[in-house]
Amino acid sequence: MPERERLPDMVGQMLCARGYTISCAESCTGGLLTSTLTDVPGSSAYVMGSVVSYSNDVKSRILHVAEETLAAHGAVSPETARAMAEGVRDLMQTDVGVG
């Protein structure tokens, strides 16, 4: 039986096929997503970087997450994750930002 393709490999193939780049903004995961993506040989062609923003200060100062968003929804919420993704995408100038 053929070995199943790993998700990080599939993500890399899809990004490369479209000529896209990706960046990650992580918090509670502590860089695990970025580590997983960069375990793929050749991932430097599409993974541009990441920010581990464990503190709200870094979320606000580096990723430009609005303090109002953090106050209203908390550090762990879909709204904050979306703002983090947009912030890291803008910071790293990538096609895709994940938060």
Q: Domains for the chain: give ranges and CATH numbers.
A: 7-98 (3.90.950.20)
pLDDT of residue 5: 73
N-to-C CA span, the chain: 36
Q: What does the pLDDT look like over 3-37, one tens digit per residue? A: 667 999 999 999 999 999 999 999 999 999 999 99
pLDDT of 83 > 60? The answer is yes
Q: Rounded mean pLDDT of 65-72?
A: 98
Distances (CA, A) of 7 to 39, 65, 87, 89, 95: 11, 29, 25, 21, 19
pTM: 0.91
pLDDT of 1 > 80? The answer is no
